[in-house]
Amino acid sequence: MLGKKPWTKYYDPSVPEAIHYPQIPVQQLVHVAAATLPHKASTSFYGSELTFRQIRAQMLRMANVLIKLGIKKGDRVALALPNCPQYVIAYYGALSAGAIVVNINPMYTFDELKFMLENTGVETLITFDGALEVMRPLATALRLKNVIVTCVTDYIDRMPVSTAQSLKLDSGWHHFSGLLTDCTVESVPKIECKSSDPALIQFTGGTTGLPKGAILSHGNLIAAVFQGGLWGNFITAYVPIAERTVISVIPYFHIYGNGSAMNWSMFNAATQILFPRFVLDEFIDTIAKFKRITYFPAVPTMITAIIGHPKAAELDLGAKIGLISSGGAPMPVELIQKVRDMGIFFTEGWGMSETASAGISSPIMRHKVGSIGTPYPDNEVRLVDIGTGLVDVKPSEPGEILLKGPTVMQGYWNNPEETKNQLKDGWLSTGDIGQMDEEGYFYIVDRKKDMIIAGGFNIYPREVDEVLYQHPKVAEGVSAGVPDAYRGETVKAYIVLKPGVTATEKEIIDFCKTKLAPYKVPKLIEFRSELPKSAVGKVLRKILRDEEIAKSKK
């Protein structure tokens, strides 16, 4: 595989084999969009709009505010915000001030947030009213110098704008809208920003149990948005720039939403239709108001919910949505067929926080069911043996995916040991087990750490999951290895049934016996009303496994 790229011949028309990446900072995308279409809506938030010119002005005001507060180049500024215009302004404003953004899920616990902010040395936090219950004690414990607070509804027309008094802000804290109203400086800060400068610290899970902060440079993020933007260009190019839109429901505090929705919108001068959370009926009612949606980055659980909604046929989603990108988990075969039947183009792929969410994606016109597709332009991929991680496996054999390319992180913040473990000579150890076919298409077998070893057999949960989704009564299904006194581990399946149906454990097991080798068939079935999911809707297998481990120790 090294040095050979058989997959490039299967790229969609207009996708280049190599890309020239401009050596620019991420915030330059805003200036380009504002110069190109100054009066077009950049954000649409519950019907309220800000133009690209207005976003640029507020971004620059925020940058100058932060500089006045003492922020210097390289300082870390934490954003703990949902998707809203304030996030967009704060993100590009912090970068314009030369700061490094620390992306924070505002729904995390005190302990989780404390570790992240201490690890990165954050002294400035930008957050919102809905998170103050945790942020107040956090700011006190860490003695943060600057805390800036907004109310999510402040950027919705017809809604009253909050004040420092109405939010009952602590002494010395700052009100987001008040700062921008008081600042009239909209000049571009005279701060040199190189492509190699860190732009974003994105936390991800660690092998030690502690999260790791992946350092993504301006160059990493620019490469990611160019790779992703040009990948879908075969479809999106047919839409005039003045009409381009993107559904922004994947959280911006997650690398997928940050790059594939927000940065993508600036790259394409597309209107971001912002959702602070995914509420199905609210989502359906909102997109019904738009004539056409150019691009919808999503996860399978969202896509399933949307196309299964009673209003889906009425909305004629096939005529409304141009391109869907799916990530975070494989799209079940049944779901792929439904999307195709509607006439919606789609691509699904694989990426990590450590690769700025870019990595491998399926060509739109030549998708293979079960495959995550082919590497993006300029990416190199190797599959190495799982034991040593040193020897390339033979074609069609499973191996750990190693990736090298322009989106691969610089390392982990303040964590040289983990950086050394994961990065060797520019090659990123992903922890994912994959296979490559003769045409250069890749297939994720499973996460190395998720692999189940039962009675000496290696079992990949994803293979079991795919079978569970084929059962006509199953809405969602996931498998995990749970402790077993005899086999070491055994396979357990967690099932959410479709509304109005019932099933027995035996029924599910018998179905799996027709599709799987005996040692792969789940021995235990648990029916649930819902499965634990991440902020982007990815099923959290680890939580289920940890629950079982805790039970076994009692």
Residue 37 lies in a domain: yes
Q: What would the two tokens of residue 208 be? A: 């030690």
Instruction: Say whether pLDDT at 527 is over 90.
Output: yes
Do the beta carbons of residue 53 and residue 64 sit within 8 Å? no
CATH number assigned to the domain comprising residue 460: 3.30.300.30
Which segments of 88-229 are extended strands (E)? 100-103, 124-128, 146-150, 174-175, 198-204, 212-217
Question: Which residue pairs from 392-397 have beta carbons closer than 8 angstroms and sit at least 24 positions apart in sequence?
Answer: 392/1, 392/2, 395/436, 395/438, 396/435, 396/436, 396/437, 396/438, 397/435
pLDDT of 209 reads 54
Q: Nearest-CA neighbor of 77 among 200, 253, 255, 214?
A: 200
Q: Which amino acid is at 327?
A: G
Instruction: Say whether pLDDT at 545 is over 90.
Output: no
Give pTM, 2 decimals. Answer: 0.85
Q: Do 459 and 523 have their domain in common?
A: yes
The mean pLDDT value for 155-172 works out to 94
- The single-letter DSSP state of residue 259 is I
Distance CA 14, CA 236 (A): 11
pLDDT of 372 reads 94
pLDDT of 208 reads 43
Which segments of 251-315 are extended strands (E)? 271-274, 293-298
C-alpha distances out from residue 272 to 177, 217, 245, 267, Å:
21, 23, 6, 12
Sequence length of the chain is: 554
Domain around 165 = 28-193
The mean pLDDT value for 188-212 works out to 85
71 φ, ψ (degrees, to nearest 5)? -70, 130
pLDDT of 300 reads 86
pLDDT tens figures, 60-111: 999 999 999 999 999 999 999 999 999 999 999 999 999 999 999 998 888 8
Paired residues of 201 in beta bridges: 102, 215
Task: Please name the helix (run of DSSP H) or strand (run of DSSP E) that holds residue 323, with its range, or none.
Answer: strand 321-326
C-alpha distances out from residue 94 to 11, 52, 80, 104, Å:
36, 17, 13, 14
pLDDT of 483 reads 86
Non-local (6+) Cβ contacts of 202 within 8 A are 103, 213, 214, 216, 255, 258, 353
Distance CA 430, CA 450 (A): 13
483 φ, ψ (degrees, to nearest 5)? -60, 140
- 71-85, 262-276, 505-519: which range is least confident on average? 505-519
- The single-letter DSSP state of residue 205 is -
Q: Do 241 and 367 have their domain in common?
A: yes
pLDDT of 519 reads 81
What confidence tier does 206 reach under pLDDT thresholds 50, 70, 90? very low
Q: Do 249 and 288 have their domain in common?
A: yes
Structurally, the chain folds into a number of domains equal to: 3
Q: Which amino acid is at 293?
A: I
Alpha helices in 123-183 (DSSP H): 132-142, 176-182
Residue with tokens 């250069």: 440
Residue 143 lies in a domain: yes
Residue 120 lies in a domain: yes
C-alpha distances out from residue 529 to 214, 300, 310, Å:
34, 18, 20
Q: Do 458 and 442 have their domain in common?
A: no
Residue with tokens 């399946």: 493
pLDDT tens figures, 280-310: 999 999 999 999 999 999 988 889 889 989 8
Q: Do 501 and 529 have their domain in common?
A: yes
The mean pLDDT value for 538-546 works out to 84
CATH number assigned to the domain comprising residue 281: 3.40.50.12780
The mean pLDDT value for 302-323 works out to 91
Residue 201 lies in a domain: no
pLDDT of 448 reads 66
The three-state secondary structure class of 402 is strand
Q: What would the two tokens of residue 233 be? A: 């260009």
Top pLDDT among 546 and 356 is at 356
Question: Where does a domain end: 447, 478, 501?
Answer: 447
Q: Nearest-CA neighbor of 77 among 110, 111, 104?
A: 104
pLDDT of 153 reads 97
Q: Do 443 and 457 have their domain in common?
A: no
Q: Do 289 and 390 have their domain in common?
A: yes
Q: Do 279 and 385 have their domain in common?
A: yes
Distance CA 215, CA 485 (A): 42
Distance CA 531, CA 509 (A): 19
- 3-17, 70-84, 117-131: which range is least confident on average? 3-17
- By the 10 Å C-beta count (0-12 exposed, 13-18 middle, 19+ buried), 349 is classed as buried
Question: Where does a domain end: 420, 447, 474?
Answer: 447
